[in-house]
A and B are shown apart, each in its own frame.
Chain A
């Protein structure tokens, strides 16, 4: 292991946590990890949230977020032990030998400074390049990463370029000093699926052309399979499996890795539309107040009781706006909404309590959709009280019933949201929606913030509840795998219009229109060489560029 760039042995990382009503305590979050990265190689770090991926990645720069500290082990970078070296030497390592690309470039760029200044800052600071040379390098990198106007994009401010472009600028920022290692921390996770593929391809090309080594951190095995040579699977701070990409994808040894590889366990065969439509939107056109352009054009969709209509599209396609129109938060300029055989009034204020009760909503961020100072009992009990007048013991009994339906035990009834996991929080939100006995629930990206395995559980739960309660779902998502798993019918939205609409089998059967083709082909597949293959066969460019 002479030429190994990074050598990590027995790495343990600790953090201080502040549990409610208890004294702060120190816990260990990474329990003894070993790995090596050779020059020019890419190691994928994969696992669910809380696995310690980012923590391990940042430790190679001797950095810990918040109260995170490296408590033991050895980290060797370019032949020196960075855990026993003064801060001055560590600063010389950061942004010089090792650089970092974060998940959210939008937050990681200083809003007050032009992009170029930030991209070349580390190179100039460490004296690696003069200002002019660094700017030339950056322009070359912009070009290499496929950014538009590479000569002038550096003069722009971060808010003046799109999310996908900024993510590439961040990659340029990391590559500009000519580092030995780049840490990519979920660099494509926040992007639309059609943008992700371009950024992924740009990163892969840049890694190849510069010959830099990389740690590629992600929760998406299909993504990491496209770029890495080796993969390490982490779970709760333990290493589960470590092997070549080929071995991990094709012949995983551990059960946990197998679960990650074949995460979708849901089979839902579509129901043909029958009975009465619970929701009919006809020719909906809408715009936001104070703007001069429509964000929804002539949208017509229909949803039958007990079924699921998936509305799919990338950000800005108008799918969440459609939800706002249906819930009455944004009265449309034109078009009508029929709900359960009656016409819904356009704005929320003039709807009856029955209308409001029968149309519930679940959100992407379960965290912020609940009052952190209310217990589960209060949260789920509120609609019971409000719509059905239940109080005291009766209310509590019904809350316990609902907790049982969402497969959570009775003990949870007196807990606060902070004491629940991400999946449990979303379950409580589901129970709160169900408590109103709705006919239709609008699910707005309800699994997007969750880990794949947890999301899988939530989708299973939703399908089971649909059978029991005969509730219809309007399921808004950008994730086609989810759509395939649970939909009966699908509406593909693009720039405020419904591009393709019909039963699941019809929408997902070729021939496709160009956009649907782009969307479907952009979903990463768990196979080696998928990325190159797709890019070679694309019919249209993605919009995020």
Chain B
């Protein structure tokens, strides 16, 4: 296990370093945003004195380095800070919101990932024949449409016309029973699935096709195995690494890229929370959301790296 432990430690250390750099980037980035939260809170009619007082109270006059270090210290001890606009602890709100976002992402992933991989396998099995072409055409069409367009179309047909599912997620309550919750996010799940399907399916197809050129696939063919058995037993295990990479990228997208879908369906997740507070110039919230998204993104890619390392037989079984 010698080389594996070393490689894993290296990846994790790199991930942490990356997070640290991202924290600087997020802090500097939000500092550069135009607008002033004190002005925002007090409104256009506030006196300059009142604004100045509030600025001092909120600590906006401290030097940037001090504020960064305070913020970083808070992050390290698990405290995301306080929302300037509402005065509430960010931890509490984020805890609830993140739970909602993960709930949506989880169900979208449960459907999208197996479906994409299965369609990828199917496309290779019927390479250049009609199933392959149809899968490619359909998934390309759905990925080419902006998600809010798909969102409104599905909302109109499934939600309004057919009335199969609730058209928006307005009524979503985290404490409702599972079926009720699933009903309110059914259409968002479909939209997200359609959006991420093409990328994963095409990468699966390409990764397996790449492996299908190998001499050991010929060996398998000359053993008399059927094409699907060959793909499943010999091609797929050798293409896990690229497939996991693209799956993780898409999972990350399901968490951090759902802003548009959450807004379209009025879903109380992280995306909407972020968008709200960008408009209110509430920097601590924006920064906290940024850090959480970055952590999820880096974490999922770290998982992909780890899986790549663990599925490499040369690393797993050294000479």
A residues neighboring B (CB under 8 Å): 58, 61, 63, 65, 90-96, 99-100, 102, 104, 107-113, 118, 121-122, 125-126, 156-157, 159-160, 173
Which residue of A65, A94, A96 has the most chain B CB atoms within 10 A of its CB atom?
A94
Q: Does B146 contact A (CB under 8 A)?
A: no
With A107-B214, A111-B238, A112-B238 known to touch, is A100 a contact of B222 (CB < 8 Å)?
yes
B226 at interface, CB cutoff 8 A: yes
Distance in angstroms from A433 CB to nearest chain B CB is 33
Cβ contacts under 8 Å, A92 to chain B: 224
Contact B219 A111, beta carbon cutoff 8 Å: no
- Determine which residue in A92, A96, A109, A110 has the highest number of CB atoms from chain B within 10 A of its CB, and name it: A110
Contact B218 A102 (CB under 8 A): yes
Nearest chain A CB to B174 CB, angstrom units: 42
CA distance A91 to B311 in the complex (A): 30
Contact A111 B313 (CB under 8 A): yes
Q: Assess whether A63 is in contact with B317, with CB atoms less than 8 Å apart.
A: no
What is the bound-complex CA distance between A110 and B311, given in angstroms?
13
Contact partner, B223, options A65, A94, A159, Cβ 8 Å: A94
A90 to B216, CA, bound (A): 19
Question: Which B residues are in CB contact (< 8 Å) with A156?
Answer: 317
- Collect the chain B residues with CB atoms within 8 Å of residue A157's CB: 313-314, 317
Chain B 180-223 interface 0/1 with A at a Cβ cutoff of 8 Å (1 = within): 00000000000000000000000000000000001110111111
Q: Closest Cβ of chain A: how far from B226's Cβ, in Å?
A: 7
**Contacts A91-B224, A100-B222, A173-B219 supplied; 6 other A-B pairs, CB < 8 Å:** A94-B221, A95-B224, A95-B225, A108-B216, A109-B216, A110-B238
Instruction: Given the known inter-chain contacts A96-B224, A125-B224, please indicate yes or no for A108 contacting B313, CB distance below 8 A.
Output: no
CA A65 – CA B221 in complex, angstroms? Answer: 11
Q: Is the CB of A111 within 8 A of B222?
A: no
Is B129 located at the chain interface by the 8 A CB criterion?
Answer: no
Task: Tell me whether A94 and B216 are in contact (CB under 8 A).
Answer: no
For B229, list chain A residues within 8 Å (CB).
125
A319-B219 Cα distance, complex, nearest whole Å? 33
Q: Which residues of chain A have C-beta atoms less than 8 A from B226's C-beta?
A: 91
User: In the complex, how many angstroms separate the beta carbon of A99 from the nearest chain B beta carbon?
Assistant: 7
Complex contact A160–B317 (CB within 8 A):
yes
CA distance A121 to B224 in the complex (A): 10
Instruction: Assess whether A108 is in contact with B215, with CB atoms less than 8 Å apart.
Output: yes
B234 CB within 8 Å of chain A: yes
Query: In the complex, which residues of chain B have a beta carbon less than 8 angstroms from the beta carbon of A159?
Result: 313-314, 317, 319
Inter-chain CA distance A94–B317, complex, in Å, is: 31
Contact B238 A104 (CB under 8 A): no
Assuming A110-B216, A159-B319, is B224 touching A93 (CB within 8 A)?
yes
Q: Give Cα A400 to B221, complex, Å.
A: 49
Chain B residue nearest to A88 in the complex (CB)? B226
B312 smallest CB distance to A (angstroms): 9
Residue in B219, B226, B313 with the greatest tally of chain A CB atoms within 10 Å: B219
B215–A102 contact, CB under 8 A?
yes
19 contacts between A and B (CB under 8 A): A58-B222, A63-B221, A63-B222, A91-B226, A92-B224, A94-B221, A95-B225, A102-B215, A109-B216, A110-B220, A110-B234, A110-B237, A110-B238, A112-B237, A125-B223, A125-B229, A126-B224, A156-B317, A159-B317
| A residues near B220, Cβ cutoff 8 Å | 110, 121
Instruction: Check if A113 sits within 8 Å of B237, measured CB to CB.
Output: yes
- Residues on the B chain within 8 Å of A107, using CB: 214-216
Closest chain A residue, CB of each to CB of B236: A112
Please report the C-alpha to C-alpha distance between residue A111 and residue B215 in the assembled complex, in whole angstroms: 11
The answer to whether A121 and B313 have CB atoms under 8 Å apart is no
**The 5 residue pairs across chains A and B that have the minimum distance between CB atoms:** A95-B223, A94-B224, A107-B215, A122-B223, A95-B224
Q: In the complex, what residues of A have CB within 8 A of residue B215's CB?
A: 102, 104, 107-108
Q: In the complex, what residue of chain B is closest to A63 when comparing beta carbons?
A: B222
How distant is the Cα of A13 from the Cα of B159 in the complex, in angstroms?
A: 60
A96 to B221, CA, bound (A): 12
Q: How far is the CA of A91 from the CA of B234 in the complex (A)?
A: 17
CB neighbours (8 Å) of A109 from chain B are: 216, 219
| Residues in chain B near residue A125, CB distance under 8 A | 223-225, 229
Establish whether residues A102 and B317, one from each chain, have CB atoms under 8 Å apart when the complex forms: no
A102-B221 Cα distance, complex, nearest whole Å: 13
Tell me if A160 and B223 are in contact (CB < 8 A).
no
Q: What A residues does B313 contact at CB under 8 A?
A: 111-112, 157, 159
Q: Which residues of A contact B237 (CB under 8 A)?
A: 110, 112-113
Q: Within 8 Å CB of B225, what residues of A?
A: 91, 95, 121-122, 125
A118 partner residues in chain B, CB cutoff 8 A: 219
Residues in A with CB closer than 8 Å to B234 are 110, 113
Cβ–Cβ < 8 Å partners of B219 in chain A:
100, 102, 108-110, 118, 173
Q: Within the assembled complex, what's the spacing in Å between the Cα atoms of A122 and B234?
A: 13
B229's nearest neighbour on chain A, judged by CB, is A125
Do the beta carbons of B222 and A94 come within 8 Å of each other?
yes
Roughly how many angstroms separate A308 CA and B221 CA in the complex, as a whole number?
A: 47
CB-CB under 8 A from A102, the residues of chain B are: 215, 218-219
Q: How long is the Cα–Cα vector from A92 to B223 in the complex, in angstroms?
A: 9
**With A and B bound together, what is the CA distance between A405 and B199 in angstroms?**
55
